[in-house]
């Protein structure tokens, strides 16, 4: 989607890593009042107008109960006034010391402007606070094109949508569906939802994550990943449309191809190919056998524009089909031991889960004069043969003893180990294939040339590690240039086995 504009939050999003300034002051004013509060309680309403934030905290059951114990009555509006009377001067004093701009914000803002975007903003601060934040941020290299606080929206802060509407009026943006609201709190997401915008939550340095820069930098790789995953789940639960690790993720979201992109999930490879053939889909991410199948069914009206590769290195864009069994199966140690066993393939159109292992078995048993059909029936070469539908399902079937042997992708097997879905000690590999070209992104060959160029450029420059780790399921992978010729060996093998 081509955005009309982008609206950013301030603390925790573009400045003040971790949104620590207001957290410290909220904690201090409640401490002064004799009501110690936890950081979790403080951060719950983050993003709201500060007076509303205090009111929301006082309504929390534990804090309300503690207040009643300390003062012999429930909190009143006069208590909100008293606490806010301490909060504002304390926060102004903190803000007067300067506000650090978050990493990569100036560079990202400059690139977005280079692409023609204007940057609006909303905030939980009031005008007096912003009078300190704005010049400090400018000195640090960041400046929004427009900012508005609840003071200019009738006192209606988040989650009310009126500050977003003020931005739209200022810039002349006409369609809320083409405005992206970006923030670091649940209230930012709610603000965007109430306005009808698309929303994006920033993970690193956010209030949702709740870590200072020093605390975050001190974490190990696995600890950082765990902290990020925890924050991401908060945004998912809030219904955010997009989740980005840091401000640079906006460059992915803002890289327009001039039209909406809709994701279609099919139950199997055949469904994906059929969607391409009937023009219900323009592009698809498929394994080698799926690409060979699409090429055959669409009479060559397909092309490959990118393929998965570790670090974007095409020379490493290969994986393997592996035969696996349980580690305690002492009777199964090589390919020669699979005859008369219970076998799990993945899908008829799976490269590593069907095509390649079928060819390997045919080659391993020349005297049996096998063909593809003979390997996929019960009480034939195998005692039983099934299609599990997914590599993960085949792996689990082996682990549980439902089948004796399965053929799967070595990369997906490793991912299952890494994610703790199966124990590595419980599985052994008894055979491995020659290298197979990695999964690729294919398009219909009749796609508009300009659109093809934009999509290809987007994929080859896409650098969102979260996407490659969680969706592609290979940490450190990127897309590398590719063409249909890279898959010719698989296409030829497919033709041979189908005879």
Mean pLDDT taken over the chain: 91
Q: Give domain limits for the chain.
A: 5-15+104-254, 17-95, 269-317+438-497, 321-434
Looking at 419-473, which runs of residues are DSSP E strands? Answer: 427-432, 436-437, 440-444
Entry field: residues in the chain: 499
CA gap 296, 299 in Å, rounded: 5
- The pTM of the full predicted model, rounded to 2 decimals, is 0.56
Higher local confidence (pLDDT), 217 or 221:
217
Architecture in CATH for domain 17-95: Orthogonal Bundle (1.10)
Domain 269-317+438-497 in CATH 3.40.225.10? The answer is no
CATH fold match for the domains 269-317+438-497 and 321-434: yes
Q: Are 462 and 479 in contact (CB under 8 A)?
A: yes
Peptide bond into 264 cis (omega under 30): no
Residue 252 or 207, more confident: 207
Nearest to 115 by CA among 251, 316, 263, 306: 251
Q: What is the DSSP string of 96-124?
A: TT--PBPTTHHHHHHHHHHTT--EEEB-S
50 is catalytic: yes
Average pLDDT over every residue of 91-119: 93
1 pLDDT above the threshold of 70: no
pLDDT computed for residue 2 by the predictor: 66
Residue with more model confidence, 180 or 498: 180
310 in Cβ contact with 439 (< 8 Å): no
| Residue 51 phi, psi (nearest 5) | -65, -40
Query: Residue 342 has what pLDDT?
Result: 97
Residue 8's pLDDT band (cuts 50, 70, 90): very high
Q: Is the pLDDT of residue 285 over 70?
A: yes
- Summarize pLDDT for 10-36 with one digit per residue, the tens: 999 999 999 999 999 999 999 999 999
pLDDT for res 365: 95
**134-155: per-residue pLDDT in tens?**
999 999 999 999 999 999 999 9
Q: Work out the burial of residue 369: count CB atoms within 10 Å of its CB; fewer than 13 is exposed, 13-18 middle, 19 or more buried.
A: exposed
Sorted by sequence, the CB contacts under 8 Å of residue 179 that are 6+ apart come out as 3, 4, 5, 6, 7, 164, 167, 168, 173, 195, 197, 198
CB distance 464 to 284 below 8 Å? no
Top CATH class of 5-15+104-254 equals alpha beta
pLDDT digits (tens, 9 = 90+) for 385-401: 999 999 999 999 999 99
Percent of the chain predicted with pLDDT > 70? 97
Taking the C-alpha atoms of residue 472 and residue 474, their distance in angstroms, rounded to an integer, is 6
pLDDT band at 257 (very low <50, low <70, confident <90, very high): low
Would you say residue 7 has pLDDT above 80?
yes
pLDDT at 265: 67
- Does residue 157 have a pLDDT over 80? yes
What percent of the chain stands above pLDDT 90?
73
Q: What is the secondary structure of 191-211 as a DSSP string?
A: HHHHHT-EEEEE-TT-TTTT-
Does 216 or 257 have the greater pLDDT score?
A: 216
Nearest-angstrom CA–CA distance, 332 and 336: 8
Residue with tokens 């990127």: 478
CATH class held by domain 321-434 = alpha beta
Q: Which residue has the higher pLDDT, 459 or 87?
A: 87
Split at pLDDT 50, 70, 90, the class of 269 is confident
**Residue 390: predicted pLDDT:** 93
């Amino acid at each position: 989607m081509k955005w009309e504009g982008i609206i950013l939050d301030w603390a925790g999003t573009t400045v003040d890593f971790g949104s620590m300034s207001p957290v410290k002051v909220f904690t201090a004013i409640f401490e002064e009042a004799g009501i110690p509060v936890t950081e979790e309680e403080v951060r719950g309403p983050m993003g709201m107008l500060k007076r509303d934030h205090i009111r929301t905290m006082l309504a929390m059951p534990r804090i309300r109960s503690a207040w009643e114990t300390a003062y012999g009555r429930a909190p009143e509006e006069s208590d909100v006034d008293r606490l806010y009377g301490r909060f504002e001067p304390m926060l102004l004093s903190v803000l007067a010391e300067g506000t650090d701009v978050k990493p990569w914000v100036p560079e990202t803002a400059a690139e977005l402007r280079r692409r023609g975007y204007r940057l609006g903003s909303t905030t939980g601060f009031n005008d007096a606070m912003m009078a300190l934040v704005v010049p400090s941020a400018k000195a640090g290299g960041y400046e929004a094109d427009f900012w508005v606080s609840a003071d200019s929206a009738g006192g209606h802060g988040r989650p009310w949508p009126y500050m977003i509407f003020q931005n739209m009026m200022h810039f002349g943006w006409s369609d809320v569906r083409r405005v992206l609201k970006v923030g670091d709190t649940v209230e930012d997401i709610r603000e965007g939802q109430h306005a009808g915008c698309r929303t994006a939550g920033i993970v690193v340095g956010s209030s949702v994550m709740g870590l200072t820069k020093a605390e975050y930098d001190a974490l190990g790789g696995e600890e950082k990943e765990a902290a990020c995953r925890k924050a991401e789940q908060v945004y998912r639960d809030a219904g955010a449309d997009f989740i980005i690790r840091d401000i640079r993720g906006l460059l992915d979201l803002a890289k327009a191809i001039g039209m909406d992109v809709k994701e279609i999930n099919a139950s199997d490879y055949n469904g994906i190919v059929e969607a391409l053939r009937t023009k219900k889909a323009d592009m698809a991410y498929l394994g080698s056998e799926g690409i060979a199948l699409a090429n055959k069914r669409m009479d060559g009206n397909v092309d490959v524009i990118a393929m998965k590769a570790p670090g974007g290195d095409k020379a490493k864009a290969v994986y393997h089909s592996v035969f696996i069994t349980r580690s305690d199966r002492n009777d199964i140690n090589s390919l020669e031991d699979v005859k008369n066993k219970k076998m799990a393939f993945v899908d008829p159109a799976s490269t590593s889960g069907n095509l390649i292992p079928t060819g390997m078995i045919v080659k391993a048993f020349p005297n049996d004069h096998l063909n593809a059909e003979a390997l996929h029936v019960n009480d034939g070469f195998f005692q039983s043969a099934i299609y599990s539908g997914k590599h993960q399902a085949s792996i689990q079937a082996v682990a549980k003893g439902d089948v004796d042997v399965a053929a799967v992708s070595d990369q997906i097997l490793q991912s299952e180990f890494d994610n703790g879905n199966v124990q590595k000690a419980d599985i052994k590999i008894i055979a491995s294939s020659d290298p197979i070209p990695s999964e690729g992104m294919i398009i219909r060959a009749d796609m508009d040339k300009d659109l093809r160029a934009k999509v290809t450029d987007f994929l080859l420059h896409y650098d969102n590690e979260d996407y490659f780790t969680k969706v592609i399921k290979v940490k450190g992978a990127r897309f590398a240039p590719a063409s249909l010729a890279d898959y010719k060996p698989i296409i030829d093998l497919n033709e041979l086995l189908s005879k």
